[in-house]
Amino acid sequence: MSHNVQLSGWRAAQRFARDLFALRNDDAELARAQFRSFSKQMPLLYLILICNATAVTVAFFKPTMLLETLVIPVIICSVAMVRAIWWRRQDGAQSFTDAEIAQQIQRTCKLAVIMTLAFELWCMWIYSSGDAYARGHLTFFLGLTQVSTVFCLMTMRAAAMRVAATSTLVFILFFSTVDQGKMLVEAIVLGCVGVGMMIVTHRYNLDFSMLICSQRDLRNRQAETEKLSEENRQIALTDALSGLPNRRQLLVNLDRIDDREGEALDGLAVLFIDLDGFKDINDTHGHQAGDSLIRSLSVRIGQICPPHSMLARVGGDEFVILIEAPDASSVAKSMAERISDEIALPVLVDRHVLQVGASIGIATNADGACSSHELLRRADTAMYHVKTGTKGKIAVYTSTMDRGRLRRLAIEAEIATGIGNDEFDVVYQPVVDAHSGQFVATEALIRWPRRAAGMLLPQQFIEIAEATGQIHPLGMFVLERACRDVGPLDDVTLSVNVSPAQFRDPGFLRQVSHVLEQTRFPPQRLQLEITEGYLLAQPETAIRTIKSFKAMGLSIALDDFGTGFTSIHYLRTYGFSHVKIDKSLLANLSPNSKASLLVAGAINLARGLDMEVTAEGVETHEQAALLRAAGCNKLQGFLFGRPMAIADLRALHVRLGREQLPPPIMQGLKSTGT
């Protein structure tokens, strides 16, 4: 056991000694660092060698010994001078490959030992020819050469160790025997110095190697950090769906353009593209189909854009093209026409042929200096001008287009002021039972009668309120006011329209519950009406919300039934209790007409799913009779009453006493054969 331990220790010592003198060639970066260190220190090393050789030559020169005291030192100094000049001309390893550096280091290790041995053997050759004074000089210069050589080679452990070991061994062997052992003490001292230099060299080399490795690790981490930062920057500036630059990247480019001075007239143009019909595709075929369409259009539009332009996706169905080129207005118009034609082409997605159009707005700086951000706003304004008129067209911005935008901004500000100043009101339109003619329900409708600039119709401000988020306070105002107003009217059911923006609000359920609690309005008398667009866009969320409202006791009605894409599957899935037939289906309603067949089919479909049917927009006795005959449960329209103030609704309720409609209306129903 002891023998095995000793053997193992001996082998470990052998490996350690071998590693001390071995030349590492597995780390190219460390070798390059050593080479850079050499290129600074080797000229100094050879200069010291030349100076020491010159000093020894002066001390030992004899005309009778020209070979020993002149020729040999001249050769040594010449070789040293050549090597010093070569190292001085190196540029820190910049012009060498890793393989060439490894080769140069290996050559340096050999030359270092050869040059050191050559100098020492020459000194020992001429040692006996000098007097005691000269011999002392020679011993000093030998030790100085050895020490300086080792310390100049410290970054290369193999070279330093080989020189230290070789020179120390030769020195000890020579001076322990010369002059009858008189120099033995000096030989021992220099041997100890040599061992000390080897220890210092080993430690220094370890520190040097660790420093290089640490620097490399630091650079690698820094490179990884920079790479990650660049990737994050690209992610932040890139639209994930299309791979195009996003709004943030567009704004960065606009800032870059604005920082330039002296932008040439008609050298900059912006196209703002909004897809027409994209929402319908999302609602009908789902967001996956819409995403596929966006990716396809992004590629096709990008192929049309010239190199001097930038295509960015700035919204769900909005794209912007930034053009920097001479005669930009002409380029923009030509591109807009090509893009409009390209977008109008059908796209096959999951075996469905999808087709959309494009409303495009153009703004250029042809008429005068204008910031790029202002051009973007103008292009957006021109696009909106197309959207509010005839979609699918191309419009170039003019100053008159800002009037519509300014009007929207003014109305937006007035809505906020109007809510605080109690300018809004709620009116009510009665709903009657189609068979008995009794007044059974009412629909709450918002009005803006006390607006300072004059009354606006709901269709003139509701869209703006939805776009700005002001629909939330308006909607809750209508709900609370209607619950307080209609609450005393016994069992009259209250219908309130709900905006998709309200339905999307996670807090809407809690807000409705709070209003019912504050007004003490029975939830069984409240019906919320929602259009199908939101339901198809977010079916899972809509189903959960509808179930939650029904659990509270409310009923949910599908508004504008018959104008969209709702299928039997959707009607059964959502669990509506009521549907409201849109008034557009009542146009041209007459006996045996196609309209009457469509309406009857819609009513039968809803009733087959155990849903009550209300028809809105009833204006004639004939319409009422046909709807009653088709099985409609409730009727609403000007025939039974226009939207009225709560006082008038209460008076109507008292007058009818929950009996039936006034005689003229009932007579009209009977006269049509019902």
DSSP structure string for 487-498: TTSTT-EEEEE-
pLDDT tens, position by position, 228-242: 777 677 777 888 888
Return all residues near 84 (Cβ < 8 A) that are at least 6 apart: 42, 43, 45, 46, 47, 50
**Residue 294 contacts residue 281 (beta carbons within 8 Å):** no
Least confident of 291-300, 528-537, 614-623: 528-537
Least confident of 21-30, 212-221, 539-548: 21-30
Q: Give 649's pLDDT tier (boundaries 50, 70, 90).
A: very high
Nearest to 309 by CA among 337, 335, 344: 335
Identity of the highest mean pLDDT range in 174-183, 205-214, 618-627: 618-627
Within a 13 Å sphere around the CA of 672, how many CA atoms are in the beta-carbon half? Answer: 17
pLDDT tens, position by position, 568-609: 666 777 778 888 888 877 777 777 777 788 888 888 888 888
pLDDT of 204 over the 80 cut: no
**Residue 635 contacts residue 625 (beta carbons within 8 Å):** no
**Residue 461 contacts residue 445 (beta carbons within 8 Å):** no
Output the pLDDT for position 485.
Answer: 94
From CA 236, how far away is CA 250, in angstroms rounded? 12
pLDDT tens, position by position, 476-522: 999 999 999 999 998 899 999 998 878 878 889 999 999 999 999 99
Within a 13 Å sphere around the CA of 630, how many CA atoms are in the beta-carbon half? Answer: 31
Output the pLDDT for position 669.
Answer: 43
Q: Give 8's pLDDT tier (boundaries 50, 70, 90).
A: low
Q: Which domains, ranges and CATH numbers included, belong to the chain?
A: 2-218 (no CATH), 247-397 (3.30.70.270), 409-667 (3.20.20.450)
